[in-house]
Structure 1
Amino acid sequence: MGCSGCRFRVNFGKALSKVSVFFTMVLIFTYFFYCLTGFCDSAPRAAYRQQTSDLDYDILDDLRPPRRLFPDAPFQRNRTGSADAPAEPSQNTLDSEKETAKSNGIPVSNTFGTKRFPQAIIIGVKKGGTRALLEFLRIHPDVRAFGAEPHFFDRFYDKGLEWYRNLMPRTLDGQITMEKTPSYFVTKEAPSRICTMNCQTKLIVVVRDPVTRAVSDYTQTLSKNPGLPSFQSLALKNSSTGLIDTTWSAVRIGLYAKHLENWLQYFPLSHFLFVSGERLVSDPAGEMGRVQDFLGLKRVVSDKHFYFNQTKGFPCLKKPEGSSRPRCLGKSKGRPHPQIPSEVLQRLRDFYRPFNHRFYQMSGQDFGWD
């Protein structure tokens, strides 16, 4: 009986030892799995930029090197409910973008990279081709741009520079942070405010024949407000005298020389690149070459990225491999212009001529608008 009890205790002890070893192995396995998972989540990973639904161009993943980037910050309502202010991406947005990337087989970490102030800003002009330029630039793997127009230096300056910096996408060393807000060029306070941030900022101005720019501006406003008065009634102070009304913003924006004078009080001419809106349509690769040189970038964006859409009347990006079709700028671009009396257009050309010549002298470029 005593021996039976001894055998029982020995067997029980062996069983208990095996159970302890089993649970110890489970704990060790769990620990190593957790560590490995944590390491993978925190390790630097490469990510492609996610194409957002509000952008007008396809990104040519088959024609460019992989990016080690993060999705651009979206344009959202701010905490006060305003639809105008861009907002830093929420955690839900970041989580959603992370899941989307993972579903495409791209592991990401939303803490990789650094938020920096823009080293370059597209400051103007409205209806000159700034959206096309920004989207062409975003093909380049070393360019990271905020997708919406932040309007910080004209509308939301009171929110502070830290708020502005937090809007920017994360970048790696060697990448350029950019944004575009065309209204900066005509905002009196914008040059001093940008210089307060960084007087070494590179400034890009996309300009276009001021007459066709004014008509395009009017066309856009008319699409949103069908009851708008006629172009000629807004452009002319008095139809009998034919004097041009420079208080109308569509006319005032085209006084490029006047606006540039304000900027040259704070920045030297060498900090500006003036891009021709016309050549951005007729020779996008050529203009993009100049832009990449100005930004100190390798010439990655070239003629292989573009094709001319006869229906739209401007260049589009070629479709990436596997895509059903290429996409161009959205329906809001390339609207047919209303018929404007030729005498009104001629009065505008005569009005702008001395300002254009002055702008040619100041910029060192003849844009051939006369």
Structure 2
Amino acid sequence: MLSLWVYMIYCCVGYCSTVPSLRYVNRHGNDVDVVESLGASRDLLNNNENDVDSRGEEWDEPRSESKALDDNAMTAFLNETKKLPQAIIIGVKKGGTRALLEFLRLHPDVRAVGAEPHFFDRNYVKGLEWYRDLMPKSLEGQLTMEKTPSYYVTKDIPSRIYNMSKDTKLIVVVRDPDFLGLKRVVDGKYFHFNPAKGFPCLKRPESTSKPHCLGKTKGRTHPNIHPDVVQKLRDFYKPFNMKFYEMTGHHFGWD
């Protein structure tokens, strides 16, 4: 670790071209270039560059003015590690998964990657270490999350997630998804109404940064649907809803 910091400082003053490549041997016995491994997560954005909802923006981490001089803060920084997600938002598409993720990211006990990893459907062959490296660093007790709605419609996803960890919670947006065991933190002071967009944006109360709004594809006006069409949809989905109630052990009372 000390060698890595010295190397990075050396690079900052413009001498990288004259310094031998810093390398290490990973757990699989492969020789890896540190600088190349630091850029590995760029593959995520490259893979999803054409997917509008995949390009989630990152929040600025709230830091107090004295944090750099705080011994406890430095200890916490050194104890941060990357963990595989303990909860994954898997769907449904266009059901508010981005909004849910951004609301959860407001919570101090939640760390989540903004972009959609698409690990279990598009990048599974890259392995769990690649997947873990995409995750943000977190402390003991913090919950690591990601969201990829296409997991909901991909056949092999349940078994793949189970093989990673049978304790990982899967979140499907229906009406009231609230079972992560988090203490209540987010309230009215975390929201700032944006008159141009016509809906609230998110803001950390302790932060001086500007409000964080969802993308322009969010908050669109829903079209008016003829009541007869709505009734036909209700009739069609009724048996599927009943089966869903049995599977979850919860009756949502949908028509």
TMscore range, shorter length: 0.5 to 0.7
Inter-CA distance 183–160: structure 2 relative to 1 (3 Å threshold)? same
CA apart distance, 1:78 = 2.5
Looking at structure 1, the residues matched to 107 and 173 of structure 2 have their Cα atoms a distance apart, in angstroms, of 19
Q: How many residues align?
A: 206
Equivalent in 93, 97, 100 of residue 133 of structure 1: 100
- Residue in 2 aligned with 1:193? 160
Structure-2 residue corresponding to 1:78: 43
State which structure, 1 or 2, has the greater radius of gyration over its C-alpha atoms: 1
Tell me which of 149, 154, 168 is aligned to 2:116: 149
Which residue in 1 is equivalent to 2:133?
166
Among candidates 235, 240, 254, match of residue 350 of structure 1:
235
Residue 358 of structure 1, CA deviation: 2.1
Distance 1:193 1:161 in 2: 11
Contact 2:190–2:205 (CA under 8 A) maintained in structure 1: no
Q: Secondary structure at the match of 1:365?
A: coil
The structure with the greater share of residues assigned to helix is 1
Q: Percent same amino acid among aligned pairs?
A: 62
Give 3-state SS (helix, strand or coil) of 1:78's partner. helix
TM-score (normalizing by structure 1): 0.46
Compute the TM-score of the two structures, normalised by the length of structure 2: 0.64
Quote how far apart the aligned CAs of 1:307 are. 6.6
Say whether the 8 Å CA contact 1:77–1:83 is kept in structure 2. Answer: no
Please report how far the alpha carbon of residue 333 of structure 1 lies from its aligned counterpart in structure 2 after TM superposition: 1.0
Q: Find 1:365's aligned residue among 245, 250, 253.
A: 250
CA RMSD of aligned residues (A): 4.1
Q: Which amino acid aligns with 1:206?
A: V
Point out where structure 2 has 5 or more consecutive residues left out of the alignment.
10-37, 52-59
Counterpart for residue 186 of structure 2: 301
Which amino acid letter does the alignment assign opposite residue 361 of structure 1? Answer: E
Deviations 1:112-168 (A, max 9, x none): 621111111112111222111111111111211111110111111111111101111
Give yes or no for the alignment of 1:330 onto 2:215.
Answer: yes
Q: Are 1:182 and 2:142 counterparts?
A: no
Does the C-alpha gap of structure 1 residues 121 and 352 become closer, same or farther in structure 2, counting only changes over 3 Å?
same
What amino acid does structure 2 have at the position aligned with 1:134?
A: L
Question: For residues 304 and 194 of structure 1, do their structure 2 counterparts lie closer, same or farther at Cα, with a shift above 3 Å needed?
Answer: same
Contact 1:75 1:148 in 2 (8 A): no
Q: Distance in 1 between matches of 2:185 and 2:86?
A: 19
Cα distance in 2 for residues equivalent to 1:325 and 1:177: 25
The alignment status of 1:118 with 2:3, answered yes or no, reads no
Q: CA deviation at 1:321?
A: 6.1
Q: How far did residue 337 of structure 1 move?
A: 2.9
C-alpha distance in 1, partners of 2:209/2:132?
37
Q: Where does 1:1-370 land on structure 2 (aligned, <5 Å)?
A: 78=43, 82-83=47-48, 107=68, 113-207=80-174, 276=175, 291=178, 294-306=179-191, 316-317=201-202, 320=205, 326-370=211-255
